[in-house]
Structure 1
Amino acid sequence: MNNPLMPLTIHRTVTDGDAVALSYAQEQLCFLQKLEPGLTAYNLPRVIRLTGGLDVTAMEHAFQALIARHAILRTCFFEQEGVPMQSVQATVPFALERIDLSVLDDEAQKAQLDVVVRRTAGHVFDLGVPPALVARLVNLGCDRYVLAVCLHHIVSDAWSNPILVHDLAEAYRLALRTGGPIQLPSLPVQYADYAVWQRASVQGGALERQLDHWNRHLGSDVPALDLPTDRMRPSGKTFVGTALGFDVPSELAVALQTFCRVEKCTPFVALLAVWQVLLARCSGQNDFAIGVPNAGRHHEEVSELLGFFVTTQVFRARLSPWQSLRQVCRQVRVDALAALDNAELPFEVLLASRKDRRDPARSPLFQVMFGVQMVGNAVALDFDGLSAEFEEFDDAGAKFDLSLDFYIGPQGVRGRLEYNTDLFDATTARRLVAGYTRVLEVLAVDPDRVLANLVLTSENERAGLMQWSQNLANRPFEAPVHQLITQRARHTPEAVAVVFGEASLTYADLEARANCLAHRLIALGVRPDTPVGIAVERSPEMVLGLLAILKAGGAYVPIDPEYPPDRIAYMLEDSGVALLLTQSHLTLPMRDGLKTIELDRLDLASEPSTDPGVPVNGEHLAYVIYTSGSTGRPKGAANRHRALANRLAWMQDAYTLTPAETVLQKTPFSFDVSVWEFFWPLLQGARLVVAQPGAHREPARLVQLIREHAVTTLHFVPSMLQAFMAHAGVEACISLKRIVCSGEALPAEAQAQVFQRLPGAGLYNLYGPTEAAIDVTHWTCLADGLNHVAIGRPIAGSRTYVLDDGLNLVAPGLPGELYLGGVGLGRGYLGKPGLTSERFVADPFDAAGERLYRTGDLVRWRTDGQLEYLGRLDHQVKIRGFRIELGEIEAQLLAQPEVREAVVVAQPATGGPRLVAYVSASTAQAIDTQTLRARLAVALPEHMLPSLVVVLDTLPLNANGKVDRNALPAPQPPDATRRVAPTRDIEKAICAIWAQVLGTEGVGIHDNFFDIGGHSLLLVQVQAQIQSRLGLAVSLVDLFKHPTVAAQARCLRPEPTDGAIDTAMRPARDGARRQREAMLRRKNAAEGMQR
């Protein structure tokens, strides 16, 4: 943006040799240069092609005169007591480097010229030795020359370019006439005078009004623009990049001018509005900031100076999907006019006044730039008889993630998109330009179209996206799963079906017992679609109960007996179950009228062992699994037999399990992953090995099971996979053929660990919400060098659409919400028609009335036709594979009498994200966080308990009166003054292990593991570290019982022999003790969380 010139206010105050402060912009560049020595991203290269009889000596004299006229080119930069300063030297030596390529052929000449130009552009300046300018004159022969010039940004900017060329050409003409050194007219002030004036203006309070304006405009913490990238963002900011040039079609440029005349706005306003709209669509964000360069030459006396005057103004975009393009333009116009009135404030002063959170990998406040230059006629390059023209040069740098610039002149509108190549590929850049052009076309012809109805895909792209989105290769429904298992039992009756510890069941045994139980269930009133509760520990009874419920026609409702009593009671009530299968040692909350069957004491001798043959069709329910609900209560997702049969048939087609193989069932049956673990092996005549209760948490026990039973297939949530891969015995699991992952995003690091330590095992990444039959997309992991693991393509019979707010297909590479359709879709939420209709919507691509499920997941199509998971659109999170609605935790907090306000966030931490609750008190009495968390543990399972509770006087609010999550303070570590340091060697060793696992520095021997950010999965890592580093054995249960370093040190014992390990890992058969241990784990996880 340019500004009208203001009256003279800057005076000559600095003489040669004076040490004066830098301007604010120069100071920031010095800091960057110090932070990254050798940085060339702030070089400003220029290339001029000259034709004619060039006088080389006159050109050298011209550069010398240029340096003499502009004191900034004679300025050295240095530190004085740690403060960056500048001082103008009276004279500095300069020689024009001359390079002769005239003897080379055209091809060699071109190659060498490119080397010279790039060497010039990449020159590393020593800012302590002026001039910060290098120039090379290349002779190509036949009166053809190339002048390659490069200046450091600390002495120049883009608006200095025409000044430099004008003064250089004038000096060259004078040098030709005089035949020797010449002198250009002196300037009224120099850049150092401007720097002194600028600091005086700021420090004197002259710009306070402008500072207030910009802080009001930006508001509180400005969200980072989180564009989806082609590669993982490096941990620190990088500056490598390139640029893509493009022309705006002439008819579109004319339409743009017409729109601007009608709206009484400049092209800058319209083009910036289009950029905001495109970035919102590309990022899925409606709130972000864009940097806009301002020439900064507000005073007439600096209009002819070389120097770093440009500053940056920050425009915060706050868009709504229901705004029109015209409305966005009008808002940008208001912002632009206000920016012109507040244009003198240095960006660095604004930045210093802000408290926005900083990320070393991103530029502060904004990550994307935008600029428009009105170039008019080309700058006259009058070198007295020489033909001279600028040559475009890609300087292979990028100061920001993206920078879009337009140059508007008599020849039309030309654009240039600069992009960081550590983040984006050229195909992405081309797609951005194409998207920008489409939005600009809509602005020109239909400016009142709302943003939600913008379609950025072409007809060909939409056809390709529809092909990617649909997998129509589903089989017709043949029979429900339990009937197919009956057929398998008849085919291989003596084959082993289920293994649990030393016990096993053949297919004939399993079939007969399940039939007997099914008859009993039918006698008790179970019919098709009847929900039947089952609350048992992992055991053969669990498999038997699930199969029997299906055979009776019912839909099983799994209830984890480790859940808190309040949660179990709610699930029993909400599901409407009249019958509950359980075990005698479990103590569960019961309600009036609920019938129970204790599977471990059941006498079925009087029941027939024949198949009951209950008619069940594909639309009948197979199971109802409860998942976290945003209203404060969990909700039951109901799934059909047709969907389950399709899902298991696809899995067999994809992975071909044989009867000779073994599948390990270890996932808690309240997770839908357990469904395929139970039934897929039984459908194929394979062995189902059921892990003992608690074994799914302990890598050592899993390794033992895999080796003992030659397990070929098992599932992990990625966080547990990483804990498993860290175990020393993993390489011995050579029987593994398939490792299936789902439940949360699979990190590339975990993928690499599997490839390295288990090269014989395939790794498969699946995705699916509980509202569909287990999984709906699949991806076979590859060592492709990418930093994002895809979730793949739809499985057979599934549809996966990536849509925007207007339910339009989103172009490849751009984020959108994932919508699911097809045979795998669930029926909805049990007993909740309103919530079902909210999440299950009409399919806009199907006229037959099919539905789509709105997942709330943000994804994008990669260019290879694979889906990539990007995150959530709401406050749902995944913690250690558990799907959690933060609203459910917040509702429980707000139900506590001492809590007035509450918000829960998932914050990154070592070992995966952790839940942090922020609360304010309803009375003057302080909140006891230990008591608060203990009460939460009555209603919430361990994985939903906040790791930390932070008490604030009041929660920060945004402009809309809602809790500003970005403004929440970081949790403070426990008071170190009350920490008891370790004294014994064993305590020191355990403290060191805790510190490493938790990613913290200080650990006291009486700190509670769960109080300082620990959770069950991190405790698994502690157990592994104690065993591998200290050679000491300890059970996971003991670590739960003893959550302090002092207590753990007392219970450690020397590592036993292999035989003793087998004995130690043999699970306790006493179910009552297991239940007490589960309650103890919840209690320990709930206790003592001080702010």
Structure 2
Amino acid sequence: CPFEDGQIMVRTGDLGRWHPDGTVEILGRIDQQVKLRGFRIETGEIEAVLSTHPSVNECVVVVREDDTGDKRLVGYLTLRAGMAEPEGTELRQLLGAQLPSYMVPSAFVVLDTLPKTPNGKLDRRALPAPEADHGAAGFVAPHSETERLLAEVWAGVLRVEQLSIHDNFFELGGHSLLATQVASRVRQLTGQEIPLRLLFEAPTIAEFAAQLAHQDATETPPVLPVERDGRTLPLSYAQQRLWFLDQLQPGQTTYHLPLLLHLHGPLDRTALAQSLSAIVARHEVLRTTFAPAATPDAPPVQVIAPPAPVALPCQIVTLAPDQNVDQLLHALVQTELAQPFDLQAGPLLHMRLVQWSPEDHALLLVLHHSIFDGWSESVFLRELAALYQNAVAGQSAALPELAIQYADYAVWQREWLQTTVLDQQLRYWQQQLQAVPALDLPTDYPRPAMRSGAGATVAVAVPAALTAELQRLSQQLDSTLFMTLLAAWQVLLYRYSGQAEFAVGTPIAGRVRPEVEPLIGFFVNMLVLRADLRSTPSFAEVVAQARRVALEAYAQQDVPFEMLVEAVQPTRDMSRTPLFQVLFALQNMPTTALDLPGLAVRSIPMDLPVAQFDLALALSETDDGLRGVVEYSTDLFAAATIERLMEYYTLLLAALVADPEQPIDQLSLLTREEQQQLLGDWNRSEAEYPREAALHQLIEAQAARTPHTPAIVFEGASLTYAALNARANQLAHYLRAQGVGPDVLVGLMVERSLEMIVGMLAILKAGGAYVPLDPTYPAERLQYMLAHSQAPVILTQAALVDTLPEHAAQVFRLDADWSTLAKQPTTNPPRTVLPDNLAYVIYTSGSTGRPKGVMVKQQGVLNLVHGLRAYFDDPAVHNVGLITSISFDISVNQIFPSLIFGRTLHIIPDVVKLESQAMLRYLDEHQLHLLDAVPSYMQAVLNDVAPEQPANALRYLLIGGEKLERRLLQSVFGQLGAQVAIVNIYGLTEISDINILGAIRAEDAARPITAGKPLQNNRIYIVDASGQPQPVGIAGEICVAGESV
């Protein structure tokens, strides 16, 4: 645990993570993060996209559970003035274009306003349940046979008795998982392949039936004999998957496999060309292309071209003065990799020979993965060595005949898998992978709706000494090195994501029969290894689990991954790979050192700009320890993040070797330097301020310095600092006579007015703590607050006296009773409070349903005020706008810094706040330099006005209470001007409201949005569930310690 003994620390319940610059990003409430059908969903991401619809003013997305226990996403929204209500289909199409299908709500509810709790927060429990809508046309019975069939399928899936052909699938409770079931049942009954998106685009029976009429039927391809009698040859399951991916994204380079050889010495180009020709002639797969079948309802087929000599022209290049060989070759490879393969026209093998000196050549081969794999590389190099040696010596090729070709394997695979041989294996996988959750790692960038395949790599090295220790540990635990390294990878993913259940993929050679071992081709298969770390086991126990799961998977490895996906039917999501998103491999394929007579041969590794998965770690054993690369999606991660991840992996390996019996949730991922950085350097927020002063004393001092400066303004009236101080003094003397002193609570029930600030200051001068009582609150709530606080005195206004609930307090009317204070002195009363005494008590919503009184001390507010000094004490700031009710803690951020630093506080009338144009006119006419608001309010104001506004004086906009979205940054800088600095603030009412803050300027608008750094004299910790500090970039709970607590 990172906390010092005796240190008071508050767990906020909010998720956050450190950024490399020492700022903190707020990710949302822990209890608002939802998990639906195996996916963890941040509803704010859905809301951000939904809010871009021009009709939407406010929106919120929640998970609702119906009577059957089925959960689904429901979107609630309010409309902008004058805008028409959008259709649910229109909203789903908007969301579906940017988000995975499981993040698209199945129903939308339009409300006049979103329900709020008395303190202004969204009241989720008051959101109404969506009603089933049978369409504007009422009930219409199915007409055609297709409509009747669909009605039966929908009724069974949705568990309803009667369906109109105009009923909307999603408005009746459908969601992506049920849509998958509909597609599966329709496919089973009609033989037609139904893409999941079809149901989103055509969500009624009538629309769906019409679309179905245009869908092509797919039938199981016939079992073909191995004999070559002119009949078509099928693709293997693995090839077919790559073919379909290419159809979805033509021209993608994700599945390009390069092989680059530096040949130094006298090269016999003729012998090399002859050798390559012999290999291409020997392996049909290198002459294979794929073509659509003769009929549109059959799968693609292999087309094998006849052997032909390989053309290997030599390109002579010149090294630039500042270019080395590897740079030259890297540029060559990148150019060749960027060339897409045409899987139908071919060839699927590109060869180039490059020369830059008489004895220096490079042979570059780029092959499509559908005809080549890692094992094939060894076969190719072994045959190239034998053939080149014979060619140079003038001898004929001496390679044994191949008994079969890859096409024969593809036929055999499909014949075999049509039998009952694999039923048992399929049952195992269906049970093992049932509802396996997607691994949701924290990312640097939002996950795109569709994977682009763009990627990069980072090198990985595990020292030889640590590798030897890992091998010894593997022997002690009766496992293999692969199992031990896999277990460590799973532990790292668990610690990084906070997710205890997920799956990791691992490649397996797939050459289960000896006759395919000498073949070139795409045989590799993927095994899906599920991890379950919910019991927070020791590492030794994780290794034992990894061993058991791996051995079971090896026994069921005959099922092609493509068939596995079809059998398990995970929720389709184009932003993620199916079943697993992270891969681990320990390369143990046969390796071949290429020995060509008279040549020194060097295989050159290459960094490919592609990523087949979110993350893929591939290691191999060398004399110097473990070496490898981690391939990562650049759509999701920055290079620095992956470099840190692999540093943590090596650190974790050492910790696991040192103590394999330690529970995995107690392992630290931090080096001493990082612990110092996170717990020390980034928390060095010490700052001096007048700790022994009282809030009202600092305002008194300001009144003495600037007595004639306007202190507060409301509806044309104002009070100077001298007048404010004098009036507050008179009331304070009166309150003291009523028994008000340190920690005595005084109710303050007033409309927005000058008296509101006078009363607040007077209570503090008397030594008491104010309790805001909002006149708009229900009587029952006010009665509870008065009874709970037991305030002996209430300050109010004449018009509000009759609205007070039953109480026993002394009431003083700030407007009608002021004449009774005429004889009270205007001098400052003697100070009676200490920094440890209360300044105010604000009631917020409590988990019990009753308001919760939060007590805040003088010291916390004093520290807050001086933490905001850089903004309020800026010479360019004179006028401060108060938007928020004093019943909300945000008001504290405006009132006290404004008065303590001698600014003029403008109390903005309610009638102005509620009308966007009036609000912006007020901002301009009163030359407000600093304003404080919640993001949703400010966004609503800017939504309702023209993009270009008159020049204004605003310099600082303090934003807090909700997550700051990029859309508001764009609106503020675009409409209020680039001179505005948005000060993002984060904190809890319980701990003086602000604990983290930072300014965002126009030039920062494209950077990640963070809340900034700890407020002065505050310390921020981000921890996992067991209280361990989280590394940079890893989400955890935000904890706060320091003078605000």
TM class by smaller structure: 0.7 to 0.9
Q: Which position in structure 2 is the counterpart of 1:120?
A: 336
Q: Which position in structure 2 is the counterpart of 1:713?
A: 930
Confirm or deny: 8 A CA contact 1:703 1:729 kept in the other structure.
no
Alpha-carbon separation, structure 2, partners of 1:733 and 1:804: 47
Alpha-carbon separation, structure 2, partners of 1:483 and 1:70: 91
Alpha-carbon separation, structure 2, partners of 1:655 and 1:321: 51
Q: Which position in structure 2 is the counterpart of 1:91?
A: 306
1:191-270 alignment to 2 at 5 Å? 191-204=406-419, 206-220=421-435, 222-229=437-444, 231-270=445-484
Confirm or deny: 8 A CA contact 1:533 1:581 kept in the other structure.
yes
Change (3 A) 1:88 1:582: same
Q: 1:40 aligns with which of 249, 253, 275?
A: 253
Alpha-carbon separation, structure 1, partners of 2:1033 and 2:229: 55
Q: Which position in structure 1 is the counterpart of 2:987?
A: 768
Q: 1:190 aligns with which of 371, 386, 405?
A: 405
Q: Which position in structure 2 is the counterpart of 1:742?
A: 960
Alpha-carbon separation, structure 1, partners of 2:447 and 2:320: 43
1:681-720 alignment to 2 at 5 Å? 681-693=898-910, 695-720=912-937
Q: Deviations over 1:438-492 (max 9, x none)?
A: 1111121211122233222222232333111121113241422122222323443
Confirm or deny: 8 A CA contact 1:43 1:150 kept in the other structure.
yes
Alpha-carbon separation, structure 2, partners of 1:207 and 1:239: 32
Q: Deviations over 1:584-639 (max 9, x none)?
A: 55576735545555545444524625344350110011122233444444433321
Q: Which position in structure 1 is the counterpart of 2:100?
A: none
Q: Which position in structure 2 is the counterpart of 1:1059?
A: none
Q: 2:582 aligns with which of 349, 356, 368?
A: 368
Alpha-carbon separation, structure 1, partners of 2:803 and 2:353: 88
Q: Which position in structure 2 is the counterpart of 1:130?
A: 346
Q: 1:803 aligns with which of 1016, 1020, 1023?
A: 1023
Q: Which position in structure 2 is the counterpart of 1:507?
A: 721
- Note the C-alpha offset of 1:706: 0.5
Alpha-carbon separation, structure 2, partners of 1:56 and 1:418: 35
Aligned CA-pair RMSD: 3.0
Confirm or deny: 8 A CA contact 2:289 2:304 kept in the other structure.
yes
Q: Deviations over 1:825-853 (max 9, x none)?
A: 2xxxxxxxxxxxxxxxxxxxxxxxxxxxx
1:26 equivalenced with 2:239 (yes/no): yes
Q: 2:357 aligns with which of 132, 141, 144?
A: 141
Q: Which position in structure 2 is the counterpart of 1:380?
A: 593
Q: Which position in structure 1 is the counterpart of 2:879?
A: 662
1:472 equivalenced with 2:686 (yes/no): yes
- Note the C-alpha offset of 1:565: 4.9
- Note the C-alpha offset of 1:356: 4.5
Which amino acid counterpart does residue 646 of structure 2 have in structure 1? V
Alpha-carbon separation, structure 2, partners of 1:152 and 1:16: 27
Q: Which position in structure 2 is the counterpart of 1:851?
A: none
Confirm or deny: 8 A CA contact 1:739 1:764 kept in the other structure.
yes
- Note the C-alpha offset of 1:161: 1.6
1:641 equivalenced with 2:854 (yes/no): no
- Note the C-alpha offset of 1:412: 3.3
Confirm or deny: 8 A CA contact 1:61 1:175 kept in the other structure.
yes
Alpha-carbon separation, structure 1, partners of 2:877 and 2:825: 27
Q: Deviations over 1:541-568 (max 9, x none)?
A: 3323322322232222334444455544
Which amino acid counterpart does residue 644 of structure 1 have in structure 2? V
1:278 equivalenced with 2:497 (yes/no): no
- Note the C-alpha offset of 1:127: 0.6
Q: 2:634 aligns with which of 406, 415, 421?
A: 421
Alpha-carbon separation, structure 1, partners of 2:255 and 2:299: 18
Change (3 A) 1:214 1:581: farther
Q: Secondary structure at the match of 1:771?
A: helix
Q: Deviations over 1:699-727 (max 9, x none)?
A: 22210211121111002323333333342
Q: TM-score, normalised by structure 2?
A: 0.72
Alpha-carbon separation, structure 2, partners of 1:733 and 1:359: 46
Confirm or deny: 8 A CA contact 1:43 1:122 kept in the other structure.
no
Q: Secondary structure at the match of 1:97?
A: coil
Change (3 A) 1:715 1:142: same
Which amino acid counterpart does residue 731 of structure 1 have in structure 2? Q
Deviates more, 1:278-287 or 1:669-678: 278-287
Change (3 A) 1:334 1:695: farther
Q: Which position in structure 1 is the counterpart of 2:68?
A: none
Change (3 A) 1:294 1:729: closer
Q: Which position in structure 2 is the counterpart of 1:445?
A: 658
Confirm or deny: 8 A CA contact 2:986 2:996 kept in the other structure.
yes
Q: Secondary structure at the match of 1:639?
A: strand
Q: Secondary structure at the match of 1:248?
A: strand
Change (3 A) 1:500 1:128: same
Alpha-carbon separation, structure 2, partners of 1:450 and 1:367: 25
Which amino acid counterpart does residue 686 of structure 1 have in structure 2? R
Q: Which position in structure 2 is the counterpart of 1:883?
A: none
Change (3 A) 1:485 1:269: same
Q: Which position in structure 2 is the counterpart of 1:69?
A: 282
Change (3 A) 1:284 1:531: farther
- Note the C-alpha offset of 1:271: 0.6
Q: Which position in structure 1 is the counterpart of 2:71?
A: none
Confirm or deny: 8 A CA contact 1:77 1:84 kept in the other structure.
no
Alpha-carbon separation, structure 1, partners of 2:328 and 2:441: 40
Confirm or deny: 8 A CA contact 1:663 1:681 kept in the other structure.
yes
Q: Percent identity?
A: 37
Confirm or deny: 8 A CA contact 1:766 1:778 kept in the other structure.
yes
Confirm or deny: 8 A CA contact 1:559 1:568 kept in the other structure.
yes
- Note the C-alpha offset of 1:162: 1.0
Which amino acid counterpart does residue 123 of structure 1 have in structure 2? Q
Q: 1:51 aligns with which of 264, 268, 274?
A: 264
Alpha-carbon separation, structure 2, partners of 1:247 and 1:13: 46
Q: Which position in structure 2 is the counterpart of 1:1070?
A: none
Deviates more, 1:150-159 or 1:20-29: 20-29
Confirm or deny: 8 A CA contact 1:49 1:388 kept in the other structure.
yes
Confirm or deny: 8 A CA contact 1:11 1:193 kept in the other structure.
no
Confirm or deny: 8 A CA contact 2:582 2:614 kept in the other structure.
yes
- Note the C-alpha offset of 1:262: 0.5
Alpha-carbon separation, structure 2, partners of 1:53 and 1:491: 91
Q: Which position in structure 2 is the counterpart of 1:617?
A: 834
1:794 equivalenced with 2:1011 (yes/no): no
Alpha-carbon separation, structure 1, partners of 2:957 and 2:673: 37
Confirm or deny: 8 A CA contact 1:662 1:688 kept in the other structure.
yes
Alpha-carbon separation, structure 2, partners of 1:14 and 1:694: 86
Confirm or deny: 8 A CA contact 1:712 1:736 kept in the other structure.
yes
Number of positions where the alignment pairs a residue of Structure 1 with one of Structure 2: 813
Deviates more, 1:630-639 or 1:39-48: 630-639
Which amino acid counterpart does residue 116 of structure 1 have in structure 2? L
Q: Which position in structure 2 is the counterpart of 1:546?
A: 760
Alpha-carbon separation, structure 1, partners of 2:570 and 2:733: 65
Confirm or deny: 8 A CA contact 1:23 1:196 kept in the other structure.
yes
